[in-house]
A = this chain, B = another copy of it.
Amino acid sequence: MMVTRTPARTRLLEAADRQLFTRGVQATPVDDLLREAETSAATLYAQFGSKDGLLAEALEGRLANWQAAWDAHIAEASDDTSRLLAIFDALLAYRERGRPSARWCAFLATASEMSDPPKPVRSVLEADSALLRKRLLHLSHPLAGERAADLADAVELIYSGVLASLLRDDPVDPIAVGRRSAAVVAASYGS
């Protein structure tokens, strides 16, 4: 008799989310994902078509979770500046919650590994960058007016710096450093 449990498709996505972005996509063999998900190769290829297909859906899940977390922290913020800086608070909460672990950023890591990603993967990567840029631009407008694009560029760069700093064996907390720097830059637009 088979115990009712979460479907194989979900287990595969969870295993992919946990392994692909910590060990690296190329460094993680399909067999390891199958072992953690306690399923078989046939199921994976029936559900996702390929390893890249599974990767693409795992990235979509990350994007959805991140977008929701960011949303929540924007809603909690009380003034325009903290709404712009909410991205750092969301990142802090996102990483502290044991949720999906990763060495640094699943999207940047994937972009770094695959110089020419297949279409479904590329779409998610572009969607992530687009979301980042669009939201920061929107949040920058009340602070910087016509110069919102410049402020948004600066915050996006600092945010990417926070993520990249996780790759170096840096003792300091990059999220706090990034938030402080972004606050200084944002304040310089408030004249």
Q: List 9 other contacts, CB 8 Å, given A108-B164, A111-B168, A157-B181.
A: A108-B112, A112-B167, A150-B177, A154-B180, A154-B181, A157-B174, A161-B162, A163-B164, A181-B181
Complex interface: chain B residues within 8 A of A133 (CB): 170
Considering the chains assembled together, what is the distance between the CA atoms of A81 and B154 in angstroms?
Answer: 19
Residue A172 at the chain B interface, CB threshold 8 Å: yes
User: What chain B residues lie within 8 Å of A115 (beta carbons)?
Assistant: 22-24, 27, 103
A160 touches B169 (CB 8 A): no
Q: Which of A109, A113, A157 has the most CB of B within 10 A?
A: A157
Q: Do B170 and A165 have beta carbons less than 8 Å apart?
A: no
Q: How many chain copies does the complex carry?
A: 2
Contacts of A14 in B (CB 8 A): none
Interface residues in A16-69 by Cβ distance below 8 A to B read 22-24, 26-27
Chain A residues with a Cβ under 8 A of chain B = 22-24, 26-27, 103-104, 108-109, 111-115, 126, 129, 133, 150, 153-154, 156-165, 167-170, 172, 174, 177-178, 180-181, 184-185, 188
Given A112-B167, A164-B108, A167-B108 in contact, is the A158-B181 Cβ separation under 8 Å?
yes
- For A22, the chain B residues whose CB sits under 8 A away are 115
CA distance A3 to B177 in the complex (A): 56
Contact of A178 among B108, B157, B163 (CB under 8 A): B157
Q: Known contacts being A185-B184, A188-B184, is A26 close to B158, with CB within 8 Å?
A: no
